[in-house]
Amino acid sequence: MGLLSNMSRTALISVLFFLLAGCASTPSDDIDLPERTYYDKAMEALDDNLPTTAARHLKDLETRYPFGELTERAKLDLIYAQFEAGDYIASHATAERFIRNYPNHIALDYVYYMRALSTYKGAETFLGRYLDLNPAERDANEYNKAFGEFADLLQRYPSSEYAPDAKARMIYLRNTIAQHEVQVAHYYFKRKAPLSALRRGQEVIQNYPSTPAVEEALAVTIQAYMDLGQLDLAKLNLSVLINSYPESRFVDDKQRFIPFELPREANPDTLYWVSLGLID
């Protein structure tokens, strides 16, 4: 009985061996194709609006022909394909590697631009893209990073064809970051933390003086100084607000500051309004 079992086991192993050998001899998709074939397949995929497929072909080319004639070009196209596929993290990483490996490449301005653009687009979250969420209500770290990367492009390649678009995006980013600071200040007001709100308002005034958010940032500082009992500083900033924005929505027709939130016991005739000494 033991002998038959051993023979059966041997026969089974032999069958499996021949089956595996047959599979190994069957052509598969893993067979290396000519370098140009991978590249052409990638370009066809891009033309057909299939960036994920294009990225796969370009990575296959890079893996199989690391020193091929089309390798550098394929790496540049891979940055774009990954970006178009919405894989902004991968696109950014590929751009970073290209910058390190080809520091003198003729198309390096394009790579710096795509690196910044990947960060910029990556900062637009799912909710921001599909639910029209105000970008100022999101975390601003990635926007700051994108701003710095666009600035890096402009510093290195001020005459680049991508410079105008980079400048326009930097203006938008500055405005968004400044508005974000104001939104955070409002959050601190709700948390009864006027000193933290004050710092956010001052951040906008000092570091983003040309943005539309400055008007509201001045109002933030006035509100914060009032809450902190520093009425002289509140009056000083109110005068700056009135002089800078004569039609400000934070000042009424008698040039009195309109607080963000009135205390429950207060009304427009109480000392909350006259504490700045600006009405008779």
- Interior/surface letters 25-60, b for 16+ CB within 10 angstroms, e for the rest: eeeeeeeeeebeebbebbeebbeeebbebbbbbbbb
Q: Output the pLDDT for position 266.
A: 39
Per-residue tokens: 175: 């405005």
Q: Output the pLDDT for position 55.
A: 96
Was domain 193-280 assigned CATH 3.40.50?
no
In the chain, domain spans: 34-87, 106-191, 193-280
Second CATH level (architecture) for the domain 106-191: Up-down Bundle (1.20)
| Sequential pLDDT tens for the chain (280 residues) | 454 455 455 555 454 444 444 444 433 355 678 889 999 999 999 999 999 999 999 999 999 988 888 899 999 999 999 999 999 999 999 999 999 999 999 999 999 999 999 999 998 754 455 455 555 566 688 899 999 999 999 999 999 999 999 999 999 999 999 999 999 999 999 999 999 999 999 999 999 999 999 999 999 999 999 999 999 999 999 999 999 999 999 999 889 999 986 444 434 343 333 344 443 2
Residues with Cβ within 8 Å of residue 247, at least 6 apart in sequence: none
Q: Output the pLDDT for position 25.
A: 40
CA distance 28 to 65: 19
Residue 185 dihedral angles phi and psi, to the nearest 5°: -60, -45
User: How distant, in Å, are the alpha carbons of 83, 101, 218, 241 from that of 115?
Assistant: 10, 15, 35, 39
Domains 106-191 and 193-280 share a fold: no
pTM here? 0.76
User: How distant, in Å, are the alpha carbons of 103, 115, 224, 225, 275 from that of 186?
Assistant: 45, 33, 10, 14, 22
Q: Output the pLDDT for position 271.
A: 37
Q: Output the pLDDT for position 66.
A: 86
51, 84 contact by CB (below 8 A): yes
Q: Output the pLDDT for position 33.
A: 84
